[in-house]
């Protein structure tokens, strides 16, 4: 019963997110403000449905739904959606929704493509640290994903301004300043949660294995990612890193995030690997 | 009478090259050419528009090859052979003439679509024509209509909204870089007119402070005073770059005044805050290599021109919408024009009178319960008789062929008196 509900919910999420993304793309092309309002409401609906979908999955498996590839990516999409919605609540960045919703849709589609079998969790890891550590880390990834979108938009717009050849994106993308501020906000929030994610991770490791840090490949890569963002935050504050450099760093940092999430699992293995 | 038609003859920037337009006989004021037009036989109403890009005649006249030749002679003054002239001019009748006039008024026929000047020129020309009483009921109506069509196009489409001048383009680019210009500072290098204009636009967008650097300090002080800003000497240029965000350079210097290597260290001091450099001097003041520096954006006069071109193409999209409005209005005018004949006017007058009669009877008769059917019919007959007796004289006046009054004038008069003007739905 729960399996069916969970399955149906996920399919609905996929469809609703596709609609939101399509509406945002229509807005991007037509610049009709009414379409944007519709798109935003559909995305909010998608966010709520994703939450329900995760809850149903948690009820199905009995613990926080982040142990299989399918669950982890769906969780990532959920975090990105709510990171976007919370950002949108405070700031307006022209056409940011189009890029963000596209990323969310891609994440959900990858999630739909991999096996949906629940991955049993070894008893040693069944702890309330799991939802805390995974939740905090994914919220961090959500914000960093937004910074990545903002970085892409910045590079596109900067290219138009520098080359002085104004194409399709020039009038549709926001000002460089708006994109740089987006980078700053998302980076700050993302880095904060990333730090919390690592701290909660060490706590959990201590509880489960008795040592805070054991240089497992995933831990190593998390630390590398964290350092990349640390450099960024530091340089932004002290050296005035902004604009193109910040945008490139946001994209680089996000690639490190993606590698930490999947590259490590597939290439290097370790205690964090899902579905083993 | 019904042989009279609306006729438009003209030359514009697309139909004739400048060399030909220069030869057009119409220079100076409107009075003399309008006077000459009145001597051409067959012109009942006439109006003349002359701008640097076009000369157009709008007439209500009895058409014919002879009239066309007369008008061509009037336009070209016999300086170019008649066959040659025909290649340069366009002649439109009736609906096409109306459409062309609307296209001109809405600037859809202008060299720069969306420019606002043409409407003013049209009004000016109309003022001259009506002062000489050369326009009658038809042209008055038509020209007033063209003004309102222009207004409608302006409010319902974005045709006049995008920047098509260099200084507007600079503002548009600054906004794409900085978002808001509220707390930004501008440095004017050189005190040329173009720079002043661009600065004015930027100040209009809320720029915080204007600094003027010039070789002669007194001129800098004068200009700075205009913008409530400060004046500095040209030697302080690099120093000032630390604190300003936008620089507009327009000096008459023969070489580059700001090099890449001078700005690179400044960017570190600015903590990489973006710098927008606008070079409107010819030859250029700023090193084009500056554009390679991170967070520095350099635009010279050619780059700005290309932005202007982009905006123009944006306007052309809006022009499609405007064209639809023009079509609509031409249709409306045609409907009104058809009603301007004697026969539809008589019908409209009768209908209005009958309607009033019927309405009043419907209001009164139910209250007169005591009346018999026969008496009731008498009342109805009486009402109808009053109506037709009142209408008798106006109708005779309308139908008679007198040479004193143009039938269009009579139709117009009666339509106004009887309030038959509600053709706009």
- Range of lowest pLDDT (A132-146, B152-166, B202-216): B152-166
Going by C-alpha positions, the residue among B302, B293, B297 that lies closest to residue B247 is B297
> Which comes out higher in pLDDT, residue B114 or B89?
B89
Q: What is the pLDDT of residue B26?
A: 66
Can B52 be counted among the known catalytic residues?
A: yes
Q: What is the pLDDT of residue B252?
A: 81
Nearest by Cα to B139 from B425, B417, B412:
B412
Contact criterion met (CB < 8 Å) for B273 and A240:
yes
Which tops the pLDDT comparison, B281 or A161? A161
pLDDT at B424: 41
C-alpha distances in angstroms, A239 versus A231, A242, B173? 10, 9, 26
pLDDT of residue B236: 86
Q: Do B178 and A175 touch (CB under 8 A)?
A: yes
Segment A25-36, tens digit of pLDDT? 999 988 888 899
- Complex ipTM over 0.95: no
Average pLDDT on B323-333 reads: 91
Report the sign of the C-alpha dihedral through residues A233, A234, A238, A239, in that order: negative
Average pLDDT of every residue of chain B: 84
Q: How big is chain A, counted in residues?
A: 276
What are the two backbone dihedrals, phi and then psi, of residue A121, each rounded to the nearest 5 degrees?
-105, 135
The tens digit of pLDDT for each residue in B344-378 reads: 888 888 888 999 999 999 998 888 888 888 888 89
Sign, CA torsion A138/A140/A146/A149: negative
Q: In what order do the strands lie in the sheet with B90-93?
A: B43-50, B54-61, B5-12, B90-93
Whether B274 has its CB under 8 Å from any CB of chain A: the answer is yes
Mean pLDDT in residue range B257-277? 90
User: B265-289 burial, b for 16+ CB within 10 Å, e for fewer?
Assistant: ebbeebebbbbbbbbbbeebbbbee
What average pLDDT score do residues B148-158 get? Answer: 85
Separation between Cα atoms, residue B40 and residue A155, nearest integer Å: 67
Section A19-23 average pLDDT: 94
Asked if B102 and B25 touch (Cβ cutoff 8 Å), the reply is: no
* Residue B422 confidence class, pLDDT cut points 50, 70, 90: low
User: Which pLDDT belongs to residue B31?
Assistant: 83
User: Is residue A276 scored above 70 in pLDDT?
Assistant: no
Task: Read off the pLDDT of residues A88-100 as tens digits, 9 standing for 90 and up.
Answer: 888 888 889 999 9
Tabulate helix, strand, coil % of chain A (nearest 5). Answer: 80, 0, 20
Higher pLDDT, A67 or B2: A67
The CATH code belonging to domain B5-156 is: 3.30.460.30
Q: What is the pLDDT of residues B232-253, one digit of tens each?
A: 988 888 899 999 999 998 888 8
Of the residues B43, B52, B85, B357, only one is catalytic, namely: B52
Question: Is the minimum CB–CB distance between A94 and chain B shorter than 8 Å?
Answer: no
User: For tokens 């005035």, what's the residue?
Assistant: A240
Question: Does the pLDDT at position A271 exceed 70?
Answer: no
What does the pLDDT look like over A209-260, one tens digit per residue? Answer: 888 888 888 888 889 999 999 999 999 888 788 888 999 999 999 999 998 8
According to CATH, the superfamily of the domain at B166-308 is NAD(P)-binding Rossmann-like Domain (3.40.50.720)
* A to B CB pairs, distance under 8 Å: 52
B1: confidence class by pLDDT, cuts 50, 70, 90: very low
Decide if B177 touches A, using CB distance below 8 A. Answer: yes
Q: Do B303 and A161 touch (CB under 8 A)?
A: no
Burial string for A204-235 (b: 16+ CB within 10 Å, else e) reads bbeebeeeeeeebbbbbbbeebbebbeebbee
Number of Cβ within 10 Å of residue A93's Cβ equals 23
Report the residue from A175, A178, A244 with minimal CB separation from B294.
A244
Give me the mean pLDDT over the B4-21 stretch.
Answer: 85
Write down the pLDDT at residue B16: 84
Mean pLDDT, residues A155-159: 93
pLDDT tens readout for residues A158-179: 999 998 888 788 888 999 999 9
Q: Hey, how many other C-beta atoms are within 10 angstroms of the C-beta on A26?
A: 16
* Chain B hits for A162, Cβ within 8 Å: 291, 297
State both tokens at B44. 């009942």
Greatest pairwise CA separation for chain B in angstroms: 109
- Note whether B342 and B399 are within 8 A (CB): yes
Rounded percentage of chain B residues whose pLDDT exceeds 90:
20
A241 touches chain B (CB under 8 A): yes
Residue B75, pLDDT > 80, answer yes
Residue A50's pLDDT band, with cuts at 50, 70 and 90, is very high
Task: Give domain limits for chain B.
Answer: 5-156, 166-308, 340-417
Handedness of CA B227, B231, B233, B235 (dihedral sign): negative
Domain residue ranges in chain A: 2-268
Assigned token pair, B406: 């143009």
Instruction: Give me chain A's average pLDDT, please.
Output: 87
Residues in A touching B295 (Cβ below 8 Å): 242-244
pLDDT at A274: 45
Mean pLDDT score, B112-117? 75
Q: A230-244, B27-41, B172-186 — which is least confidently predicted?
A: B27-41
Q: Residue B190 in 3-state DSSP? A: coil
């Amino acid at each position: 019963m729960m399996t069916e509900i969970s399955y149906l919910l996920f399919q609905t999420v996929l469809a609703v997110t596709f609609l939101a993304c399509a509406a945002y793309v229509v807005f991007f092309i037509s610049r009709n403000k009414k379409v944007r309002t519709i798109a935003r409401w559909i995305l909010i609906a998608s966010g709520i449905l994703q939450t329900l979908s995760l809850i149903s999955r948690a009820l199905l498996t009995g613990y926080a739904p982040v142990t299989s590839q399918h669950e982890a990516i769906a969780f990532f999409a959920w975090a990105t959606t709510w990171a976007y919605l919370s950002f949108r609540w405070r700031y307006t960045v022209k056409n940011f929704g189009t890029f963000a919703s596209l990323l969310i849709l891609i994440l959900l589609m990858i999630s739909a493509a991999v096996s949906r079998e629940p991955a049993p969790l070894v008893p040693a890891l069944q702890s309330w640290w799991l939802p805390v550590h995974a939740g905090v880390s994914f919220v961090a990834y959500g914000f960093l994903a937004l910074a990545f979108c903002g970085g892409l938009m910045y590079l596109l717009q900067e290219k138009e301004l520098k080359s002085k050849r104004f194409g399709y994106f020039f009038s549709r993308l926001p000002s460089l300043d708006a994109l740089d501020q987006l980078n700053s906000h998302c980076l700050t929030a993302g880095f904060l949660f990333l730090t919390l994610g690592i701290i909660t991770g060490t706590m959990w490791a201590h509880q489960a294995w008795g040592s805070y840090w054991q240089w497992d490949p995933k831990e190593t890569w998390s630390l590398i990612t964290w350092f990349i963002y640390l450099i960024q935050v530091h340089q932004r504050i002290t050296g005035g890193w902004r604009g193109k450099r910040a945008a490139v760093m946001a994209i680089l940092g996000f690639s490190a995030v993606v590698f930490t999430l999947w590259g490590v699992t597939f290439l290097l293995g370790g205690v964090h690997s899902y579905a083993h | 009478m019904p042989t009279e038609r609306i006729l438009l003859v003209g030359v514009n920037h697309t139909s004739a090259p400048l060399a030909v337009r220069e030869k057009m006989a119409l220079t100076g004021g409107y009075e003399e050419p309008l006077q000459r037009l009145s001597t051409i036989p067959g012109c009942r109403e006439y109006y003349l528009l002359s701008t640097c890009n076009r000369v157009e005649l709008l007439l209500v006249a009895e058409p014919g090859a002879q009239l066309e030749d007369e008008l061509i002679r009037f336009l070209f003054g016999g300086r170019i052979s008649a066959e040659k002239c025909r290649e340069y001019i366009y002649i439109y009748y009736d609906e096409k003439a109306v459409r062309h006039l609307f296209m001109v008024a809405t600037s859809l026929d202008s060299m720069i679509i969306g420019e606002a000047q043409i409407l003013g020129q049209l009004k000016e020309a109309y003022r001259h024509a009506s002062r000489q009483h050369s326009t009658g009921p038809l042209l008055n109506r038509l020209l007033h209509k063209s003004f309102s069509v222009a207004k409608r196009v302006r409010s319902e489409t974005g045709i006049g909204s995008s920047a098509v001048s260099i200084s507007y383009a600079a503002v548009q680019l600054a906004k794409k870089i900085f978002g808001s210009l509220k707390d930004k500072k501008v440095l004017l290098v050189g005190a040329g007119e173009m720079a002043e204009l661009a600065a004015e636009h930027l100040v209009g967008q809320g720029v915080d402070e204007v600094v003027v650097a010039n070789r002669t300090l007194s001129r800098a002080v004068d200009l700075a005073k205009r913008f409530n800003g400060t004046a500095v000497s040209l030697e302080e240029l690099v120093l000032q770059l630390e604190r300003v965000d936008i620089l507009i350079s327009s000096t008459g210097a023969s070489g580059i005044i700001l090099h890449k290597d001078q700005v690179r260290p400044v960017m570190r001091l600015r903590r990489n805050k973006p710098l927008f450099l606008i070079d409107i001097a010819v030859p250029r003041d700023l090193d084009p290599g500056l554009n390679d520096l991170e967070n520095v954006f350099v635009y010279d006069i050619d780059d700005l021109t290309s932005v202007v071109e982009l905006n123009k193409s944006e306007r052309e999209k809006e022009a499609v919408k405007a064209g639809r409005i023009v079509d609509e209005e031409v249709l409306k005018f045609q409907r009104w024009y058809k009603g301007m004949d004697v026969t539809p006017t008589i019908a409209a007058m009768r209908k209005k009178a009958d309607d009033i009669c019927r309405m009043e009877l419907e209001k009164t008769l139910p209250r007169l319960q005591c009346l018999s059917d026969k008496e009731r019919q008498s009342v109805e007959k009486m009402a109808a008789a009053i109506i037709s007796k009142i209408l008798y004289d106006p109708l005779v006046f309308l139908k008679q062929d007198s040479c004193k009054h143009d039938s269009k004038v009579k139709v117009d008069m009666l339509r106004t008196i009887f309030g038959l003007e509600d053709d706009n739905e």
